[in-house]
Copies of this chain bind each other. A is one copy, B any other.
């Protein structure tokens, strides 16, 4: 029944080791089917080299329960659920512990926008949530992790269509996109931006943010009304 959805979810999960973004089981990808009211997600703790399409778990958007699949879904399932509910435009979500993005998340600080590689996809710093309050940790932790992210967007009047990635302080990155393929792309992009920012700030700690006019120019040439990058099908 959910064969195509599982297959697509599996394929994008398998991209994570190929892109060097996961070690062992430290990551997961999900894809939503809004019409069917479900999303597909990696099972918990299953190694990528034995993962099969039929292992993918189908979870309902309304109550977060398993609709199909023999295995337990990722322990991060409720974080994905929270994001799908708060961000109705998104089609897929990726969570990894990729090296440089996770190392930045451990600092608890946003990744400053330092160049056009960054501005081509994101017109602001890469945000980082606050560290979670103790009482929320005791609560439904994974749902609260999702809320740390969605609340950042609320508080900052930011759009999850413009900022498609965030660092969870002390934990690691989540990325998303209109499609799951774009969510995976953002996960790889984020890792590269974090590596570049590490090098830049180690060489020259006082490097200022990129000037606003350059940020606007690069973001607009790819994503604005008059975008002229690519073959017109972006």
Residues of A near any B CB (own CB < 8 A): 23-24, 26, 43-46, 71-72, 75, 97, 99-100, 102-109, 114-117, 131-132, 134, 137-138, 141, 170-172, 185, 188-189, 192, 195-204, 207, 210-211, 213-214, 217, 221, 228-232, 234
Contacts and interface: CB of A to CB of B under 8 A. Distances in A.
Contact of A72 (B108, B117, B196, B231): B231
Given A99-B199, A137-B214, 10 more contacts: A26-B117, A44-B229, A44-B230, A75-B229, A102-B196, A106-B210, A107-B204, A108-B207, A141-B217, A198-B203
Please give me the 5 A-B residue pairs with the lowest Cβ-Cβ distance, nearest first: A45-B230, A103-B199, A107-B204, A106-B115, A106-B200
11 contacts: A71-B231, A99-B196, A103-B198, A106-B200, A106-B210, A107-B204, A131-B214, A137-B214, A170-B211, A197-B203, A198-B203
Contacts of A211: 131, 134, 170
Contacts of A104: 199-200, 203
Nearest to A76: B229
A45 B234 contact: yes
Given A131-B214, A192-B23, A204-B109, A231 B45 contact: yes
Contact of A115 (B114, B171, B229, B230): B171
Given A115-B171, A170-B114, A231 B99 contact: no
A185 B221 contact: no
A185 B26 CA distance: 13
Which of A71, A75, A102, A104 neighbours the largest number of chain B CB atoms within 10 Å of its CB?
Answer: A102
Nearest to A43: B231
Contacts of A131: 211, 214
B221 A132 contact: no
Contacts of A171: 115-116
Contacts of A75: 221, 228-230
A82 B200 CA distance: 28
B234 A192 contact: no
A200 B203 CA distance: 10
A171 B214 CA distance: 9
